[in-house]
Amino acid sequence: MVKASARELIQKVIHLFHYGINVWYDCFRIIRYSSVWRGMNDFRRQEAWIRADIHKLEKALSLKSPRPGFGGYIFSRLADNVDRLSMTGKKLDEVDMLWLSDVFHKYVEFQSSHGCGLDRLPTGIIESFLGSGFCSEPSSAPASPEEKYDHAVEFDFRKFAWSRHSIRDFSAQLVERDLLFKAVDMARKTPSVCNRQTTRVHVFDDPVQAGEVLKYQGGNRGFGDAVPAVAIITSDISQFFSPDERNQMWIDGGLFSMSFVYALHSLGLGSCCLNWSVSSKTDRAFRKTGFIPAEESVIMMVAIGHVRKGSRVASSRRLPVDRIATFHSSETPAARSQG
């Protein structure tokens, strides 16, 4: 008979082996589908760089005191990518074009008003922007934060957040597609790295198809066969072009998922977050269904439906704040309270 300690050691070796397989699978997908190895003329790489550089310029412009002459290198790279894009015959979508137009005109206006920056850019760079058709007309400037905050915060968010529970008992009522559309619309305001907005949502509002999707997720046993709709939250790996961003898809996708779940709650829909902590074997099997593009990684699934009257929820007690938050300060608590 094998000793218990030996069995434990064998089990650890097996787990380590499977861990290695899954890590290499994830690594392979990032290398294959991200923009790290894509050519400079690849559309997805250009699109990602353009969005990142637009956001870098507008972030600087939003500072209290932007430095005159800033961003010449970024502005030049942005112009180069716009040129490459125009030469391939492909175009940014209308939203990106308007965004680029806004930032272009604000950047030029700022640098011109300070008498610096533009004369040091490569010859013809501004003309290339104007000639591309991307920056012909700026749209209206966004409202200042104060104008937006005054009315938007006039509700009890704590009450709203604590009123949400994970629902595992849905009614048989179909989920209205317009509600799902509204939830995605609200969630798209979620912050993302360089405003690249890499998160995608695949919605299955047919209960039969939703059941097929849930067969690949192990956390819905006991209620998955009665889920009216499922959303698969994914992240487009091709929009990342730096090895340093290897974890960014999970951050952006996780943020979006929480916004989406809160949006569903605000619309009176119940939801249950379903993790995608699956083996590489399961992930490959799911991809064979063709439900999602190869370059997208699954972040999580969300079961969605109307809450059945009389349904119950888990209490899911939360840790107290002092177990979660650590406040770092040079002041003592007594000094802070006196201040």
For residues 122-141, average pLDDT:
55
CB neighbour class for 301 (10 Å; exposed up to 12, middle 13-18, buried from 19)? buried
pLDDT: which is higher, 93 or 156: 156
Model confidence at 125, pLDDT cuts 50, 70, 90, reads: low
Q: How high is the pLDDT of residue 148?
A: 63
Residue 136 has pLDDT above 80, yes or no: no
Residue 301: per-residue pLDDT:
98
Give the pLDDT confidence score for residue 144 in this predicted structure: 63
Dist CA 35 CA 42 (whole Å): 8
Alpha-carbon gap, residue 158 to 329, rounded angstroms: 26
Interhelix angle 72-88/43-61, rounded to 10 degrees, is 150
Give yes or no for residue 122 having a pLDDT over 60.
Answer: no
* Residue 11 in this model has a pLDDT that exceeds 50: yes
Question: What is the structure's pLDDT at 124?
Answer: 54
Exposure on the CB side of residue 223, measured as CA atoms within 13 A: 25
Residue-wise pLDDT tens digits, 286-329: 999 999 999 999 999 999 999 999 888 888 889 899 999 998 87
**pLDDT tens figures, 192-201:** 999 999 999 9
Position 1 scores a pLDDT of 47
Beta-carbon neighbour count of residue 330 at 10 Å?
5
> 97-101, 174-178, 209-213, 272-276: lowest mean pLDDT where?
97-101
- Closest to 260 in 3D by CA, of 210, 212, 301: 301
Residues comprising the chain, all counted: 339
The predicted structure's pLDDT at residue 131: 55
Q: Is pLDDT of 212 > 70?
A: yes
Instruction: Give the Cα separation of 48 and 35 in Å (integer).
Output: 9
Report the distance separating Cα 302 and Cα 275, nearest Å: 8
What is the pTM for the complete model shown?
Answer: 0.83
Percent of the chain with pLDDT over 90: 45
Closest by CA to 80, choosing from 114, 53, 105, 62, is 53
Give the domains, in start order, of the chain with CATH numbers: 43-132 (no CATH), 156-305 (3.40.109.10)
269 has a pLDDT exceeding 90? yes
Give strand ranges (E) for the chain. 199-204, 229-236, 270-275, 296-305
How far apart are the C-alpha atoms of 277 and 266, rounded to whole Å?
Answer: 27
Average pLDDT over residues 174-197: 96
DSSP 331: S
Give tens-digit pLDDT for 223-264. Answer: 999 999 999 999 999 888 888 888 999 999 999 999 999 999
